[in-house]
Amino acid sequence: MLISVVFQPCEKGVRFVASLKQRVRNLLGSWYPSCNSIAHISVCRMEVSQPQIEEVIDLLSKAMRYENSQHVYFDHFATYPSSGTFFIDPTVQSKMFLKQKMQRIVAEIEKVIKVDKANAPHLTIGRGLEKDHLGQMQVNAQFKSVDFDFRCASVLLRIFDAEKKRYFPLLEIPFGNEQPPNFETGQLRFNF
């Protein structure tokens, strides 16, 4: 099984990103890679067996209990010219939050299996685009500014359907916002 692990915006955010993808499609006048994919921030992907995915789910379910939810903000469009990717980039603070989450998730999964991990959190609008298409979007008034946010409160495991050539939701694991059990509460005392 090919599994991807992602952060997915709420339904309103999914619709917003879909509208941006439709604008790009209208601008280009045709289909392009990822124009139909549901908005997500990739964490990692892996090829796993059924027993391995059950172990990964168990580890993530336990670990995510101690992860905190937070709003993440996206404030500008950017490109990766080498891969022809046009995307929405998070603010510096949101990028740090997402990277920390990604590292912890990957660390848990790699207790079971090696993964192909994402490096920089972003919301892809289009990939595999020609250089001139990227240039068109960089000068287009529709893509000058963006103000988008969503509450990052869970991680989503998706399974790849080879026949349909798409990922479909498998399991959402919410962040529990709990304190780790070894966290000591109470008043600090100084010996002066």
Write down the domain spans for the chain: 2-174
N-term to C-term CA, the chain: 60
Residue 9 has a pLDDT of 96
Q: What pTM value is reported for the model?
A: 0.88
pLDDT > 70? residue 23: yes
pLDDT band for position 60 (cuts 50, 70, 90): very high
CATH no. for 2-174: 3.90.1140.10
Annotate 7-28 with b (16+ C-beta within 10 A) or e (fewer). bbbeeebeebbbebbeebeeeb
pLDDT > 80? residue 188: no
Spatial distance between the Cα atoms of 17 and 39, rounded to a whole number of angstroms: 6
Q: Is 144 helix (H, G, I), strand (E, B) or coil?
A: coil
- In this prediction, residues 134-155 reach a mean pLDDT of 88
Tally Cβ neighbours within 10 Å of residue 137.
19
